[in-house]
Amino acid sequence: MNSGTSGTSSSLLNEREIVREAGRAAISSFLDSHTCFQVLRASAKVVVFDTRIPIQLAFYALVEHDMQAAPLWDPTIRQFIGLLTVTDFIDILRHYRRSSSDVSQLATRSIAQILSDPNLSILLKHRKFLAADSSTTLKHACVMLNGNGIDFLPIILPDDMRILATVTYECS
């Protein structure tokens, strides 16, 4: 009687693994056959920060526009240099609190000044700008997110480097 139960249990485990593998294959096929452009909303806003604006203003803009991250544009070198996230701002506030610095300085300190401060630039994990073009497959975008340990990936038009959106693992 026990051997029959063991056989049934083994059979169920095998069936579960077959179902899981079929699910993985279906998801992989979907991700391979769709591009980043195909999952973008028909209308959405994109917030980009010039690195000359005060960091506090950037944070308020993220909150006001219900955004979690925004690409950073450096006008002196005329290119994107990274992303600023709400988490980055929280890390900066925590640093100011730990170091007993005057938090009111954030009203006037620009993003560029924060990035050039060796004590704070370490906190900004998204300093390197990594983006995918609109024709990138969803699978490759996921590989880029996971492989680089990032949570947000800007999607750009390759012809003129315009940012269409910033994607993440989450759907909203």
Q: Where are the domains of the chain?
A: 1-33, 36-167
Q: CA–CA distance from 49 to each of 22, 58, 81, 160 (Å)?
A: 43, 7, 11, 18
Q: Which CATH architecture has domain 36-167?
A: Roll (3.10)
In angstroms, how far apart are the furthest CA atoms of the chain?
Answer: 78
Residue type, 74: D
Instruction: Take residue 16 and report the two structure tokens written for it.
Output: 């579960």
Residue 154's pLDDT is 92
Note the pLDDT tens digit of each residue in 15-49: 888 889 999 999 999 999 999 988 887 777 889 99
